[in-house]
Structure 1
Amino acid sequence: MQTMMVQTKIDFKRAYWRNPRFVIFSLLMPIAFYLLFTKVMKQGVMNAAFNRQYMVSMATYSLVLSNTFTLSTLLYNDARDGLVSLIDLSPTSHRTYYGAKLLNLGLINALTIGVIFIVAGISNQIHLVWSSWLLTAGWLWFASIPLCLIGISISFLTDENQIQLVSSLLAFPLAI
């Protein structure tokens, strides 16, 4: 368990904390789209139902991007750079490595859902009972599991261009 926590901490810093693309595309872009369509480009009076629905849509969009683009690219880069081979020489097992990746991704997914919900709640005064907030966030987080499996599957492609192409071909229709 100690090894898993150390691997998770190192992996989090390396993959997400030092990765500005993740922050821009998986977090800031959905927030910017939410604010753009609910605050800037609103025509007439937007009803609260649209603001709630769009909040969930942007959280889903963020999950699609982080699970298809970010995870597949991270796993491919680790294999390409020899980190996966290095694990064979270390006391860390492949199970611990992939477990740490999945633990980090679950944490990141929960964090992005929370941040988008907080921004939406504050910017548009979305009022829901706590059970509705938690149930919606929980279902979104649970729905990210198949997306994570898609991202892992994409990472087994042999070329970074193929990964970007397949990620794009899957992510954008899923987002729509």
Structure 2
Amino acid sequence: MFLAVWKAECLRLLRSPFFLLFSLAMPMGFYFLFAGLNGPDTTIGGTTWGAYSLMSMTAFSLIGTAVSQFGIRLAYERRDGWMRLMRMTPLPTGVYVAGKIASTLIVNLAVVAILFPAAAFAYGLTLTASQWALCAAWLWLGSAPFLAMGALLGALKNADAAIGVGNALLMGMAIFGGLWMPMESLPSWMQTVGALLPAHHYASGAWSVLAGGLPGAKEWLVLLGYGAGFMVLSAYVYRRQEAM
């Protein structure tokens, strides 16, 4: 049953025009905009702006997929009665949600596989093979906590409210987390808020690799902590709703 859900969701995501727009076209457009405005060869954080911005926009893309293609869609499926229908079948709700998460992770891998070569070809990025591999692995695995956040977002009873909340979360994390512009260029109070958000630590792990290091313990702990918190809250909410 899990494999059937996984396959169906992979196909649905890849065929979705919203996925193509919000997870590929928009982040790629922002990348070329920001890299072009600042100069792809400009030095920042021990690397070039072209490489730095690529990690930022890839992180933004994968967070956006978790919010819009997973979380908000899950809220609409609940509104339309799809989740109630699932409870009438032998398929457990947990397996259904897990299948959607697994399929989104596979699609996230495809996003990385498209954005990285496109940027490398456009600006001739000269990262080492290990840097490419480590950044790709970090961004892919690090997207899991945001899928847990999407699962919690999908538990909202008002699907229309989920759109507003989801977009506010996405934009807030992108701006305050330093995905659209370096944290150092933001006012101090925004930097303080941004340092508390998982999005900043998510992108920061990839930036560390670009600078010749590795994601630090703080990045790991923040993402694991947020991921565990979102998972526990999601499981609690779904169990409460199933019991009603």
Work out whether the TM-score is over 0.5. Answer: yes
Equivalenced residue count is: 172
* Aligned counterpart for 2:20 among listed residues 11, 18, 23: 23
Q: Residues of 1 paired with 2:67 and 2:40: CA distance?
A: 36
Q: RMSD of the TM alignment (CA)? A: 1.9
CA 1:89–1:44: 2 relative to 1, 3 Å: closer
Q: Which residue of structure 2 aligns with residue 104 of structure 1?
A: 103
Q: Which residue of structure 1 aligns with residue 161 of structure 2?
A: 162
Q: Residues of 2 paired with 1:130 and 1:91: CA distance?
A: 46
Q: Which residue of structure 1 aligns with residue 85 of structure 2?
A: 86
For the pair 1:9 / 2:14, whether they are aligned, the reply is no
Name which structure has the greater RCO, CA cutoff 8 Å, separation 6+. Answer: 1
Question: Displacement of 1:163 after TM fit?
Answer: 0.7
* Aligned counterpart for 1:37 among listed residues 18, 34, 38: 34
CA 1:45–1:8: 2 relative to 1, 3 Å: closer
Q: Residues of 2 paired with 1:157 and 1:89: CA distance?
A: 21
Q: Which runs of 5+ in 2 are unaligned?
A: 176-244
Q: Which residue of structure 2 aligns with residue 149 of structure 1?
A: 148
Q: Residues of 2 paired with 1:45 and 1:127: CA distance?
A: 11
Question: Displacement of 1:91 after TM fit?
Answer: 3.1
Q: Which residue of structure 2 aligns with residue 49 of structure 1?
A: 48
**TM-score, normalised on structure 1?**
0.88
Counterpart residue identity of residue 11, structure 1: E
Does structure 2 retain, via aligned residues, the 8 Å contact 1:64–1:174?
A: no
Q: Which residue of structure 1 aligns with residue 139 of structure 2?
A: 140
Q: Which runs of 5+ in 1 are unaligned?
A: none
What whole-Å deviation, never above 9, does each CA across 1:41-68 have from its counterpart, x for those lacking one? 4569645611000000110110121112
Question: Displacement of 1:110 after TM fit?
Answer: 1.4
Q: Residues of 2 paired with 1:34 and 1:44: CA distance?
A: 10
Question: Displacement of 1:164 after TM fit?
Answer: 1.4
Does structure 1 retain, via aligned residues, the 8 Å contact 2:10–2:107?
A: no
Counterpart residue identity of residue 151, structure 2: I
